[in-house]
Each structure stands twice: as structure tokens, then as C-alpha cells.
Structure 1
């Protein structure tokens, strides 16, 4: 199936805490539709990224909102062992340390959880499209755009491609019907729809802060002619989304009732824990907090209304204090502000760092994502940056910004003309070790030294298909093959490939049978940066023959 056979384009925002999809028929590209019908819920653009399995974690019982619903007592069979819902499993792809990654049962691999969730998405997407266009062939006539966080590892796209294929979204593993874009890039493309409202013109720069549940990603873009975009600084991001405010609330509560009691509640009565967070904290506190002490009314958390079983797990002195208080926890202004500030401070720091990186004056700042609807976050951002950025706004439908921007990218992948490299790329090469110049511990047994040869520097602005090259020769006259190990690093001054932070991207191995030329066999090695891939090529300079080429995933 060729690319021109794609009739429907679907963008899938697989988020840390919530996910959604949007779609459009290529014959009517202005009519982008965002799905708002989910199992168990209508009228919202996203559903929780959550799964509920059977007791052995081998079969999905429900997903999305239904996975987090607390079953009424009359429906629960006490003889049946209930599994705990699986959430935040996307974070297992990230660079978090293992002890910081979310809980998963021993029976379940995170890739299987992603595959299972995308399978449920695939079933819903397929039925949605077939209801609209009965003659469509799925997935043969459907193209997909998947969004990924800006700061995640190079293997993210490979993992997501594999899971998408196993979930039935693709006909073949390497199908060209799948494109990737970063979440902040998609958000920036969505904001193209509103820049005219704020009187921005070609040459003006704007910043987009995609504030989601798990990650916050920041990107700065310049508006070009023909409604296209250029990236002007390196994208940045961090794990400081709105769910980290929820964690601060649980830290506050844990100091009142004991952290062990909360952990037992989570393990034994997960539905009650969810009810406490969603129905009390999110709906009554987090979504409404503005940061104004003059209008804030202290709140009373009556624990038995939201988590009646918690009392059983509280012990010792804390239990005595809670009994005296009637199992009521008071939330005053400073307590709630203390839940927000550690997280909001990180967001402010990210934005500040991005503004300092760009040399251009920032004409506008747009906040999108679910967390952008927090009045306190918006007030803090405006208060901090009002003297630097004249326009700070939240566009309409901010929660759907990423998925709708991803559709725009899929319709015109040339809309982004330049990107800024996040990494320094190069290869491992060797030469003769020189006494007095090179470190003794770097000398090999045969008198060579291996080092990092830089080809492309981090923070370099690159056009699509820009090539970075170098010329190399065999080390030995009788060498019949050459191995090019491609590495990447955040360091600007890396010298060796075994330094901390250096990572192997991939390997290109070529045959060089023309040993009669000895060392006089110049090979041009190139890295070409395409939309979402890096193409590695080795070319014989003597006869112009390209020996081999391969592609690696480009962490954009």
C-alpha cells in the first residue's frame, strides 16, 4: 500500500495520564474531528491511560475511565481476587531511575501494557472510522501520527512503532503509514491557528508550553512565510505535570495519617484512593485553586466520605490525633499552595530557561495541555513573565492541542522546515597513540587510541535532509571491513565513546575488499537528518560507490 493510498489520517496522543485521538479525511482536511466518545464516558477529549486486568494480568477487563471506576459494593464478589489498575506505565520508557518508575505487577512487562492499551485504542478507532466511512479499509488506508515527549530516549519511537504494530495499527512493522512528532512540536502547530488572533507576523517568535499530566515540554518557534515554522532553540522538558500536584497532596495527607496507611489503602482499596484524588482533590481543590488568599475558603476533607477503609490502616499516635479531629483533615491556603509550588516552580524554571536560550524577542507564549487550565499555573506564569512576553494566553481547547496539531503535521510534514539538534552526534574512530599527547590508559595493546569524532553539534539548526560528513581511511592495509559505531551525547566537549552520558545509536558495517590499495582507501561517512530518521551512508571516494546505508531513529 503506497502513501498516496492513505485516505484517513489519525493522530494519537498516547499520554502519561490521559490519551486521545483525532482524525480527518484527506479530501476534507479542514474538518479535523477530535474523539469525545469513550467507554463509560461521553463529551471529553481524553480518557485515562489506565488498564484493568484480570487477577493474573493476562487479559484486559476494562480500560480508560472504566478501569478506574470503583465498583459498587453489591457488585463485588469477595471470593474473587481483584487486580489493581495499571497507570503511568508509559513512564517506563523514560530515563527515570528504576526505583522511581511506577509500579507494575511482576507478570506484566511495560511494553505489553502499552501494546494492550493501544489495542483497545485500535478497536475504538477502527469502529469510529468505519461508522463514518464504511468502505474504508483499516489499517491499509489509514495513516497514523504518534506523539512522543521531547526529552525521552532515542529508542522511544522504536518501542512505540513495535507496540503500534502488535496492536494492529499497522500492516507491517516498518510501515510508512506511521509518522512521529514531538508533543511540543504538535502543540506549536496547533498554535499556528491562533497566532493571527494575536497579530503575530512572519519573523515573530513564540513559545509553547505543553503542560500535561506527566510531562511539561517547552519549545520556541519562529513564524515563517506560508504559515510554516522554524525551531529556534533546543526543546526542553521535565516530569512536572499536574499528577505531581496530586502526589504533593498525598504527601500532605501522609503526614496526617501515615504513609504506610496510604500505601495499604492503595494496595487494598485502590478505587477509594482514586475516588479521594479525583472527586475530592482534583474536582474541589486542584481545578479551582487560584492562589489568591483573599478569596480562598479553607476546606474540610471528611475522610470516611471518600475512603472509609483508610481508618483501619492508621495506627499509633496518628490514629489518636485523627480520632480527636473526627477523621477530618483541614486544608488551609498555605497547605494547598504548598502542594502546587514545588511543581509550578519547575514549570517556571523550564520556561525561564527556554526564554534565556533564544536570542529573539518572544512575542507570545501559549500554554496548552490539561495542566494549562489550572488558574494558579496561568497566574504564576503571567506574574513571572509579564515584563518579558507581551502576550501570555491559553488557546481554545488546550487539552486537545497536541492531538489536533499532530493531525496538522500529518497533513503537511513539510510544515516544519528546521529543527534544532538535541544531541551531539559522531562516530568512534582510531589513530596511532602518541606519547606525551595521549593518556597512557587510552593506549591499546597494538598502539592505537579510540576517540569520539564529532560530526553534528548539539543546538545546531538543521534543515530536513541536511548532511554531515567526514573522510576516513582503514587503520590497517589488509583491513577487509570497517565498522562505524554512531554515538550521541549531550556533552559539547566529549572526547571518548565510553564517557558518562555517551550512548550508542547504531552501527554501520561495510565490506572493503579492495585491500590492494592499502591505506589509500578514503571512505566518506555521512549522517543525514531526515524528518524522523538519521541515515548513515558510507561512500568509496575512489570509485564513488556507496557501500551500504542504514537508518536510525532520530530523537527529534
Structure 2
């Protein structure tokens, strides 16, 4: 059942470091698209619109015990009692499926202590928690008034993820109890772009601190930089005359988000205490390790541009004691013999460092982001980009903002209010109106395995085959859609026509391939992989072989790709939705 106008849209922004949900009713969207309800979480003494992406699963490996702040606190209790060894605690695990080049439904991921569970179990339990949490929060408002088909669910994914990772998230959501026909997948920078089209935006330049900026007139070109906890997702849009948008450059970016900064801090601690001490500390005092990084997170968000005062972070006494027990030395004295002698001191349970050292934790991530943006802007297709819109939690970092502004003074840097919630709120808007994005740029080349007349000295001899029409070279990658090509969403792409090669063949199978290359020669080339196949049956063998043709085409929409094969003579069709998971 296809939803045309859902009564309610619920979006789940599944982040690397933080996750939350938001929603709006249909009448609210039509009155004011930005009137969106965001879940508030309690963490310690603070309220937050997002909860840590931490999942605690019971020793049976299936049952969710807790999520978010509650999962962190519950796991700390288990560690204190020495009862945690059989439990599974997963944190910041979203990037595991992006990093896995052979992602499948059986892929395993490790928890913080190295124990493994199927990734589909971990992701689906997290999504199920968010779904059930929403239903419990809104029970009084929707109970008896709505049916399952009245709610549209939206899940966010980075645009730079490959097709398999996007399909994996959809599969996890279905496993979590969200029916496929009521689910939409939103690309994170696209979602943020939709929200920004409705907001008064603040602009930051070298010459003026901030002011309100009206954008998004016809022809306006802008870059969305979605800097989250795990990935930095970058895309470029142009506003069309209809108020809709099209993508000008394929989504790109990398794993340079906030956890890149966390990794630099972790490496700093390892340099101070040694890897052996840090590993033992992480294993036997996991709760203290979590507290250490919570303290760092607070300081990370408070970092100022040119503040040279000393940065103080509370360091667990347990880490100091483990260091002394393992090395027989005092950590306070050992630091004096390291490269940090003039920059770091430890007094009781506090580590103090100069501000310049603390800002160095950010330098690699910031440099990678600005360098990548610079490279994109050199693309001739992106001439005329007027602004860079920064969204995502890491975009609220003043160091990153200053670096982008100073690196591109001729382009206006725009920061929407609550930049860390732009993707979540935009995903709600996407659920109400998916047609605002009308055109994307293909990230990959798609085609089928076919055959062409064999040319000696050009084609590989081992691929030559004799058939009814003569000598053919098999395993040729025949492109249907090319990487970098603009495709209109939900619209059939141009058909490719293929002649058949055998007189008595009434069934033909077209293997479908994808490649990261623009123009692969053979389907066996590096970077090519098989996605599936589409079969056309009932081919009329009475038609002369030279006139026997099959047309193959593709439709791109959401996270799915449909392939259709059509017998030109009989009109018989066969379609398949590509399965990107092994």
C-alpha cells in the first residue's frame, strides 16, 4: 500500500554519536513545515535533543536492555559489579557498515570489549527502541485515532554511503517492525537542505559577524556540508523555478566527523600512559573510560577560537593507579619526560593542557574538510556556488566554522539555528514531501554483462565465443547509467537495446553490474561487482534473429534501483529490484 498523504511523519536520525526522533502531523506541516516536535532526553542533570547511540544487549545476544544514556549508566553499573563480561555494549557503531566493503546480512560487528553480534541485530534493536519510544511518548495522541498506514517513517543515512549500506539500514528497519511500504530513506544532506529552504538563515563572513540572509531563489547554487559525528557528507544543490531542487554534483565526503577529533584525543592519552595501560583501563574500568570521554565531549563543545587559557579535563583516578601499578612510576613525573612536558600537567585527578595543544586535536579533521571543499569548488560544474551551508553537530564547532570562512572568503558561510538538528527536522519535511528533490547525480556506473563482436588484438582471447551470429566477446560491461550522470528520480532512464545471439533461445538472463569506474571495459575489471540479474522469458523465436531485441532500462528512486527488460517484439516485460546485500 503506497502512502499519498500520511497523517503523521516520524523521522529517526540514526547518528554515529547521537540519535533521536522527531515528528509532525500533516496539518502542522501544511500550516508551518518547521513546526516539528523533537524528543528530549535526560542525561544526568541535562536535557538533550539527542541520546548517545549506545546499545546494551543482554547476554542472550538478542534482547535489548537499554539505549542511550540509560544504556551507558546501566553498563557502568554492571562493570562496577563485575557482571558485564557476558553483556554486549555497542557504541559509535554506525560507521562499521560504511567501512565494511563486503557488507551482508550476516556481517558481524564488535562491541566495546571485542565480542561480536550480527550487525543487523544491533541496528534493528536500536531502531526498534526509537520506534517503540515514539509510540509510547505519543500513545495518548495517536491511540485509537491512527492506523499503521497513517504513519510514515523516515530514516536518515549519509549520502556518501554505498547502495549496500543504504539497503542494510532499510533491512534493519523492517526487521525492527517498520513495514517497508511505510518507510522512506532520506539522504542526510538532502534532508538538511529541505529544512534550510524554510528557515531564516544566519550568514557568517570575514567582514560581518552575522545577519539574516534570504536565499533559495531560482538558480541559487549552494553547498551543503553535513559534518556529523562520523561522516562529513557534502552535496551541491541548485534551486529550480518550481521551488524544487536538483543535485549538481554527486554526494561526496569522508569519515572526518567529530569522532576524528575523539580519536586524536584517544591517541594523546595513549601517548601519555602507553597502549598496554590504556587497553587495561578500557577493559577493567569501562565506566571510567566512558566518563573520561564524556568530560572530553563537554570541553570539545566549549572550545573557543583564540582562547589561550589552560584546558582542564577530569581524569579518572583509576587510570592513574593502573599506570602506577603497571609501570611502577608516577604519571605526574613520567609526563615530564615526554614531548608534552611543557604543555601538560596532572594535579590530583585533573589533567591540564594549554589551549593550543587542545586545538590540535581538531586540526586534522578541519584540514581534511576544508581541503576537500576546496577540491570540489575547482570543479567547473560548480561555478557560481554562492554559499556553504554548514549543518550537523560538528558544524557547530567554532574552529571548523572559522576555518571554512577563512578558506573561502568569497563564499558566504551559512549556519542555520540548531545546526545539529537540521538533518532530523529536514527528514520530517522529506517524509511529507519527497518530491522537492527531483534530480541526483549518479555516484556509480551501472550496466549489464553483454557481448560485442570479437576483435582480435583488442579483446581478451579467453572471452571469445562462437555463436549463431559469429564470434563474440563476452563479459563486456555495457553501460546503462554512468557515474556523474544526472538522473531524474522515479523516471525511467533511456533504454539500451540489445540483440540476441542464439536462434532457439526463448529466455535470456541479463546480469546487472555496478562499478566505481566511469567506463569499465569488462565486468571482471577491478571495482566491478555483480548486483543481480533480470530475466526476460517468452521471447518469440519465430522473429528473425537480427530483429530480436531486448530493451533494458533503470529507474532510480529513494534507495532502490529497478531494472526492467522488455522484449521489443512482444512487449513482454520483466523487472527486478536490485539486491545490494550479499
TM-score by length of 2: 0.86
| 1:539 has 2:532 as partner | no
Paired position in structure 2 for 1:382: 405
Paired position in structure 2 for 1:35: 38
Give the drift of 1:441. Answer: 4.1
Q: Which SS does the other structure have where 2:10 is aligned?
A: strand
Taking structure 1 as reference, are residues 251 and 40 closer, same or farther at Cα in structure 2, changes over 3 Å only? closer
Paired position in structure 1 for 2:309: 297
User: Do the aligned partners of 2:58 and 2:88 also contact (CA within 8 Å) in 1?
Assistant: no
Paired position in structure 2 for 1:53: 57
Number of residue pairs aligned between Structure 1 and Structure 2: 543
| 1:359 has 2:344 as partner | no
User: Do the aligned partners of 1:212 and 1:370 also contact (CA within 8 Å) in 2?
Assistant: yes
Paired position in structure 1 for 2:166: 157
TM-score by length of 1: 0.90
Name whichever of 501-510 and 394-403 sits farther off: 501-510
User: Do the aligned partners of 1:475 and 1:519 also contact (CA within 8 Å) in 2?
Assistant: yes
| 1:337 has 2:341 as partner | no
Q: Which runs of 5 or more residues in structure 2 are unaligned? A: 202-211, 337-345
1:377 and 1:5 map into 2 onto residues whose CA distance is 40
Give the drift of 1:102. Answer: 6.6
Taking structure 1 as reference, are residues 436 and 483 closer, same or farther at Cα in structure 2, changes over 3 Å only? same
Paired position in structure 2 for 1:19: 19
CA offsets 1:449-506 (integer angstroms, 9 cap, x no match): 2210112121122222041211112221122321111212221221111111112232
Q: Which SS does the other structure have where 1:468 is aligned?
A: coil
Give the drift of 1:210. Answer: 0.6
Give the drift of 1:515. Answer: 2.4
2:199 and 2:52 map into 1 onto residues whose CA distance is 28
CA offsets 1:57-108 (integer angstroms, 9 cap, x no match): 4432211111123777799434674635211222232134699x97335451
Paired position in structure 2 for 1:249: 265
User: Do the aligned partners of 1:367 and 1:393 also contact (CA within 8 Å) in 2?
Assistant: yes
Q: Which SS does the other structure have where 1:458 is aligned?
A: coil
User: Do the aligned partners of 1:218 and 1:354 also contact (CA within 8 Å) in 2?
Assistant: no
Q: Which SS does the other structure have where 1:146 is aligned?
A: strand
Paired position in structure 2 for 1:194: 199
Give the drift of 1:362. Answer: 1.6
Taking structure 1 as reference, are residues 313 and 523 closer, same or farther at Cα in structure 2, changes over 3 Å only? farther
Q: Which SS does the other structure have where 2:450 is aligned?
A: strand
Taking structure 1 as reference, are residues 367 and 511 closer, same or farther at Cα in structure 2, changes over 3 Å only? same
Q: Which runs of 5 or more residues in structure 1 are unaligned? A: none
Q: Which SS does the other structure have where 2:170 is aligned?
A: helix
* Among 406, 420, 429, the residue aligned to 1:408: 429
1:320 and 1:332 map into 2 onto residues whose CA distance is 16
Paired position in structure 1 for 2:494: 468
Name whichever of 190-199 and 67-76 sits farther off: 67-76
* Among 508, 512, 517, the residue aligned to 1:491: 517
Taking structure 1 as reference, are residues 80 and 373 closer, same or farther at Cα in structure 2, changes over 3 Å only? closer
Give the drift of 1:448. Answer: 3.6
Q: Which SS does the other structure have where 2:504 is aligned?
A: coil
Taking structure 1 as reference, are residues 282 and 40 closer, same or farther at Cα in structure 2, changes over 3 Å only? closer
Paired position in structure 2 for 1:183: 188
Counting only pairs closer than 5 Å after superposition, residues 198-277 of structure 1 correspond to structure 2 as: 198-200=213-215, 201-277=217-293
User: Do the aligned partners of 2:224 and 2:391 also contact (CA within 8 Å) in 1?
Assistant: yes
Q: Which SS does the other structure have where 1:383 is aligned?
A: helix
Taking structure 1 as reference, are residues 512 and 472 closer, same or farther at Cα in structure 2, changes over 3 Å only? farther
CA RMSD in angstroms comes to 2.9
2:131 and 2:528 map into 1 onto residues whose CA distance is 37
CA offsets 1:412-459 (integer angstroms, 9 cap, x no match): 111112111111111110134222332334435875422101121211
1:25 and 1:394 map into 2 onto residues whose CA distance is 27
Q: Which SS does the other structure have where 1:376 is aligned?
A: helix
Paired position in structure 2 for 1:349: 371
Taking structure 1 as reference, are residues 34 and 315 closer, same or farther at Cα in structure 2, changes over 3 Å only? farther
Q: Which SS does the other structure have where 1:85 is aligned?
A: strand
Paired position in structure 2 for 1:83: 87
| 1:530 has 2:534 as partner | no
User: Do the aligned partners of 2:78 and 2:84 also contact (CA within 8 Å) in 1?
Assistant: no
User: Do the aligned partners of 2:61 and 2:88 also contact (CA within 8 Å) in 1?
Assistant: no
CA offsets 1:292-321 (integer angstroms, 9 cap, x no match): 2xx321234453458565436642678584
Taking structure 1 as reference, are residues 553 and 97 closer, same or farther at Cα in structure 2, changes over 3 Å only? closer
1:80 and 1:147 map into 2 onto residues whose CA distance is 32
CA offsets 1:18-69 (integer angstroms, 9 cap, x no match): 1111111112212632323336566322111111223454432211111123
Give the drift of 1:271. Answer: 1.4
Counting only pairs closer than 5 Å after superposition, residues 424-503 of structure 1 correspond to structure 2 as: 424-443=445-464, 448-449=472-473, 450-464=475-489, 465-503=491-529
Paired position in structure 2 for 1:67: 71
1:282 and 1:553 map into 2 onto residues whose CA distance is 39
Paired position in structure 1 for 2:148: 139
1:349 and 1:136 map into 2 onto residues whose CA distance is 52
User: Do the aligned partners of 1:537 and 1:548 also contact (CA within 8 Å) in 2?
Assistant: yes
User: Do the aligned partners of 2:532 and 2:579 also contact (CA within 8 Å) in 1?
Assistant: no
